[in-house]
Amino acid sequence: MTQSPKYDYSSVNIRQQFQVSYDYPVLFTRQSFDLDNPTLAGLINNLDEAPKLLTVIDSEVAKAHPQLAQAAKTYFQAMKMQTLPEMIIEGGEACKNDESLLDSFYQVVEQYAIDRHSYVLVIGGGAVVDAIGFAAATAHRGIRLIRMPTTVLGQNDAGVGVKNAVNYHKRKNYLGTFVPPFAVVNDFSLLDSLTNRDKRSGISEAIKVALIKDKPFFNELYQAKYELAEFMPEAMENMIIKGAKWHLNHIATSGDAFEYGSARPLDFGHWSAHKLEELSNNSLRHGEAVAIGIAMDSIYSHKMGFLSEHELKQILSLLDTLGFKLNHPALHLLNVEQALAEFKEHLGGRLCITLLNGIGTGFEVNHIDIQTMVESVNSIQSNQIDRLIGQVA
């Protein structure tokens, strides 16, 4: 029997290092499928191969825009692309809870031999973009994905970033990837058919990023609060563009685009928002839950001595003027300690919560005083916000 030679493997240490550069455009337009609009056409860079394109449309968007599927097909056929029968999938959080969705998508990819040089165009709200983003990222280890978010929240926040996910056992975003899209096209004309509730919901993410990053942006939102409350196009589009810019800036400059660490500054107000969505059986829109979370963590920041009373009143006044209902029944079901523990698990075992050290300045803490946070929740439940708002300049 041959004896294996003895080696000192302790001296073998291969350290693999490489960098990958990501580059994708976020474009703003109207009427994307007008044959004279070059926005989408300019994204397709391999026309000599007659690439395939699969369009996936949110069912709610398809109802609101019944001509959309045909308009997209006509547009891409004019570009000499191989257009495939569109997929219509259920809109809202239901699609992320649908265990059959991924299999349906993979079957279409297999049936039509969609490959890594093909394109998937997803048109829909944040949940649909999230779910199809995950599906596209995991089929063939990644199919080129063009996102066309159709909600305010999707256009200024969720749809422009690098996250994709589906829910698992109703745990939000339990399965997911960090994979940048091939491109994002924000078509403002797709917002026209949204309900006021959905338009309002998306504004909370812009408020969030202004509070933690940019005091002048918050002041702009505050000064334009009546125009935003009426969803005036100029105010809304300015809010969306600046919110998207800040979201993209954070991804590019934070040094942790794929969230390997525990700090999640862009998740200000989110530790409770995710739990409130779950407790409400998703009757709360994500942006509505974020607005409640912003109020909760702003009140906590004030109670802990970080945020002035005047600044707190400005934040609450803005949320109130925009029409957010902060005292939702789900708050009465919220177990603060349990929700923080679940968020800690989601972060990877170390609690890291963003608070406000003044408007425009977020900072991280690794401990939350449970009793003070409970008192912050109680402030909302007991309708103390009306008193807190008062008269602010």
Reported as a pLDDT band with limits 50, 70 and 90, residue 131 is very high
Same domain, 154 and 212: no
Q: What is the predicted pLDDT for the residue at 102?
A: 96
Report if residue 183 sits inside a domain: yes
Same domain, 242 and 385: yes
CA–CA distance, 356 with 376 (Å, rounded to integer) = 14
Reported as a pLDDT band with limits 50, 70 and 90, residue 47 is low
Average pLDDT over residues 72-96: 94
Report if residue 74 sits inside a domain: yes
Same domain, 257 and 121: no
Same domain, 210 and 297: yes
Specify the pTM.
0.89
Residue bearing the bigger pLDDT, 349 or 182: 182
Reported as a pLDDT band with limits 50, 70 and 90, residue 375 is very high
Using an 8 Å Cβ cutoff, are 199 and 135 in contact? no
Burial status of residue 100 (CB atoms within 10 A of its CB: 0-12, 13-18, 19 or more): exposed
Report if residue 105 sits inside a domain: yes
**pLDDT tens for residues 222-250?**
999 999 999 999 999 999 999 999 999 98
Please state, for a pLDDT cut of 90, what percent of the chain lies above it: 77
Report if residue 12 sits inside a domain: no
Q: Please tell me whether residue 145 adopts helix, strand or coil conformation.
A: strand
Average pLDDT over residues 174-200: 95
Reported as a pLDDT band with limits 50, 70 and 90, residue 264 is low
CA–CA distance, 341 with 330 (Å, rounded to integer) = 18
Q: For residue 169, what are the CA distances in angstroms to 2, 68, 166, 174?
A: 53, 33, 10, 8
Report if residue 33 sits inside a domain: yes
Locate 306 and state its tokens: 């970080």
Q: Which of 141, 140, 100, 101 is nearest to 122 (CA)?
A: 101
Alpha carbon of residue 18 to chain centroid: 28
Total domain count for the chain? Answer: 2
Average pLDDT over residues 242-267: 78
Average pLDDT over residues 46-69: 91
CA–CA distance, 272 with 294 (Å, rounded to integer) = 9
Same domain, 228 and 324: yes
Same domain, 203 and 179: no
Where does a domain end: 191, 217, 247? 191
Report if residue 7 sits inside a domain: no
Q: What is the predicted pLDDT for the residue at 254?
A: 77
Same domain, 56 and 158: yes
Q: What is the predicted pLDDT for the residue at 2?
A: 65
Residue bearing the bigger pLDDT, 310 or 253: 310
Using an 8 Å Cβ cutoff, are 176 and 162 in contact? no
DSSP-derived secondary structure letter, 358: S
Structural domain range at position 202: 196-389
- What CATH number has the domain bearing residue 230? 1.20.1090.10
Q: What is the predicted pLDDT for the residue at 11?
A: 81
**pLDDT tens for residues 151-183?**
999 999 889 999 999 999 878 888 999 999 999
Please check the confidence at residue 196 and state whether its pLDDT lies above 90.
yes
| Cα dihedral: 343, 344, 348, 352 (round 10) | 100
Same domain, 213 and 279: yes
Q: What is the mean pLDDT of the chain?
A: 92
CA–CA distance, 246 with 91 (Å, rounded to integer) = 27
DSSP-derived secondary structure letter, 88: E
Q: What is the predicted pLDDT for the residue at 354?
A: 94
- Residue 16 one-letter amino acid: Q
Same domain, 114 and 185: yes
**CB atoms closer than 10 angstroms to residue 182:** 20
Average pLDDT over residues 109-121: 96
Please check the confidence at residue 374 and state whether its pLDDT lies above 90.
yes
Reported as a pLDDT band with limits 50, 70 and 90, residue 251 is confident
Same domain, 263 and 168: no
Where does a domain end: 129, 162, 191? 191
Please check the confidence at residue 263 and state whether its pLDDT lies above 60.
no
Report if residue 70 sits inside a domain: yes
Reported as a pLDDT band with limits 50, 70 and 90, residue 48 is low
Same domain, 228 and 106: no
Using an 8 Å Cβ cutoff, are 31 and 189 in contact? yes
Ramachandran angles phi, psi of 14, nearest 5°: -95, 120
Q: What is the predicted pLDDT for the residue at 256?
A: 67
Where does a domain end: 167, 191, 215? 191
Q: What is the predicted pLDDT for the residue at 88?
A: 97
**pLDDT tens for residues 284-321?**
999 999 999 999 999 999 999 999 999 999 999 999 99
Same domain, 235 and 139: no
Report if residue 285 sits inside a domain: yes
- What CATH number has the domain bearing residue 184? 3.40.50.1970
